[in-house]
Amino acid sequence: MKHLIRAGGVLFVIAFMMIIMRFLPVTESIEQFGFYRSGTAEADMIWATQEMQFADSSSCQSCHQDNYKSWEQGSHQPVTCESCHGPGRDHIAGLASSLTAKPAPEQCAVCHQQLASRPREFPQVEIESHAGSTGCVACHNPHTPAQPAAASVSQTAAIPHSTEGRADCLACHGAAGFKPYPEDHAGRANETCLSCHKTG
């Protein structure tokens, strides 16, 4: 009998709360528009008449066909354009170059910084020591990245990856090889140009 009285009391309290909530005085805007007020009636009409449009990396294809094709076939295909270049909304609205043209090494580090939790096969580097202050895109084209090499590849005198499209690297290193783990790239970016074009 005690349990029935308690259950009845609980049901009475719940019913009482629901009745109070139903007739509780609220502002007209919440009653009319809900909790997320969108603004004026004019703003509501503008939003109501616009079609919803989903934008993803394929939206970039209409203007950037070459980069899109190579990205679509490359290792970075699962990564969206906006992940590296930032939001495209302002870029499209003004047809201006408001995107990040060359991502900073920190952006590449989001995926490629060496972490013990990542699979060994995944291409990882210590960003600070890998190339110094030289940006990743100076040597690596993110739209057509080289196929990931296994992490267990030994760093011998031979270059452990394709040299295709890396003429800047070959200007200093040569096709025969390089010192293991070069850490002295900082300040050497101009050497490629200055080897042929002398100043003064």
- Asked if the structure places residue 51 within a domain, the reply is no
- Asked if the structure places residue 130 within a domain, the reply is yes
* Per-residue pLDDT, 56: 78
* Per-residue pLDDT, 119: 78
- Asked if the structure places residue 11 within a domain, the reply is no
Q: pTM to 2 decimals?
A: 0.44
* Per-residue pLDDT, 145: 66
| Residue ranges in the chain modelled with pLDDT below 50 | 147-157, 180-182, 200
* Burial of 182 per CB tally in 10 Å (0-12, 13-18, 19+): middle
> What domain range includes position 157?
60-194
- Asked if the structure places residue 116 within a domain, the reply is yes
Domain count, the chain: 1
- Asked if the structure places residue 105 within a domain, the reply is yes
* Per-residue pLDDT, 12: 95
- Asked if the structure places residue 3 within a domain, the reply is no
Question: Is residue 112 within 8 Å of residue 127, measured between CB atoms?
Answer: yes
* Per-residue pLDDT, 111: 83
- Asked if the structure places residue 159 within a domain, the reply is yes
- Asked if the structure places residue 199 within a domain, the reply is no
